[in-house]
Structure 1
Amino acid sequence: MFAVENGLQGDPRLKAISDAIRVIPHFPKTGIMFQDITTLLLDPVAFKHVVDIFVDRYEHMNISLVAGVEARGFIFGPPIALAIGAKFIPLRKPGKLPGKVISEEYELEYGRDRLEMSVEAVKSDERALVIDDLVATGGTLSASISLLERAGAEVVECACVVGLPKFKGQCKLKGKPLYVLVEPSQFDELTTL
């Protein structure tokens, strides 16, 4: 579900968020239109809009943990977790977490990767929100859901700042809802990420 489908149609905050995202052609490889959220982070008003919209959505859903996907999910997850009174759990690339971890391999649009999570971070029956900057095919979010569910959490929803309409309908999230703030406004023949 996109924010505009959830009563935010015409909300000027969504335009400010969309306008603050820079598109980098042919990065990280030829044919990719990279959605660069670093320019969004340079705009404190647009960045605050992102956090505020997510907080408004999740503050009454009894979320006890927010899981952020490395690395850009680390940017949005902690302020949202603090604002809704939840803990933050980083989902990391291999070899970055100390102690006992579980891992999940997944496919990307241009390769394979793996996420790890600390086993001690999640308590059984916790209500979880997964957050990342962008969703394309849903591989990273699906791996995140698997990790959290293996540890006993209930994933309530996944949330992303940017959703790629090219991949709408192809996203595989194990039946979990997805909430996205904006779609890229300009498209061409290149793949958008």
Structure 2
Amino acid sequence: MQYNPVETVRQSIRSISDWPKPGVTFRDITPVLQDPRCFRMLIDIFVARYMRQRLDLVAGVDARGFIIGSVIAYELNLGFVPIRKKGKLPFETVGEDYDLEYGSSSVEIHTDAVKPGQRVLLMDDLIATGGTLLAASRLLQRLGANVVEAAAIIDLPELGGSKLIKESGLPVHALYEF
């Protein structure tokens, strides 16, 4: 049997029918995170992609984007920037409202999180409608950052998010489509 980390990680993603509402299949990365070997494979896949790119920071979107983004930042010897839900950051912030699959929300970032011209990789676990990543990208750009790519573990292309992100001019990379 051939060793295939990409397929091993894919097989560990759990599908949960009818959650959070009937007709929706939720893609759960928790089993990937719980298995140390699988979690390492996931991180290594992303690190291999970005290790030769000129990056200054990794930004992760609340909350699962924190998990993978911070570990990838550590492995690439870069700083990490949290982009949080409204009202969760203690310092001066800027915010951005956005629509998501089941309503609307807002994300914020510290005003001193990035310096103008810094090259930032933006991470989240999943791309659905694209609202969260687009809002996070706008925040980073408002502070002067150059967002190099939006990356995620999972893309749900039928919801159109990755298409919207690409149309905004931001490159997108997702490991898996469901």
Return the alpha-carbon distance in structure 2 between the equivalents of residues 169 and 78 of structure 1. 23
Gaps (5+ residues) in structure 2? none
In the other structure, the counterpart of 2:135 is 143
1:149-175 CA distance string (max 9 Å, x none): 000000000110011132357631221
Return the alpha-carbon distance in structure 2 between the equivalents of residues 151 and 52 of structure 1. 30
Q: 2:63 aligned with 1:79, yes or no?
A: no
Equivalent position SS for 2:85: coil
- Residues 55, 116 of structure 1: CA spacing in aligned structure 2 closer, same or farther, 3 A cutoff? same
In the other structure, the counterpart of 2:86 is 94
Higher RCO, Cα 8 Å, sep 6+: 1
Question: How far apart are residue 183 of structure 1 and its match?
Answer: 2.0
Question: How far apart are residue 123 of structure 1 and its match?
Answer: 0.7
Confirm or deny: 8 A CA contact 1:17 1:182 kept in the other structure.
no
Q: 2:169 aligned with 1:181, yes or no?
A: no
Name the stretch that deviates more: 166-175 or 31-40. Answer: 166-175
Please give the TM-score of this superposition, normalised by the length of structure 2.
0.93
Question: How far apart are residue 99 of structure 1 and its match?
Answer: 1.4
Confirm or deny: 8 A CA contact 1:64 1:86 kept in the other structure.
yes
Q: What do you get for the CA RMSD once the two structures are aligned? A: 1.6
- Extract structure 1 runs of 4+ deviating beyond 6 A: none
Identity %: 45
- The one-letter code of the counterpart of 1:69 is V
- Residues 69, 170 of structure 1: CA spacing in aligned structure 2 closer, same or farther, 3 A cutoff? closer
Question: How far apart are residue 121 of structure 1 and its match?
Answer: 1.1
In the other structure, the counterpart of 2:31 is 39
How many residue pairs match? The answer is: 175
Confirm or deny: 8 A CA contact 1:130 1:155 kept in the other structure.
yes
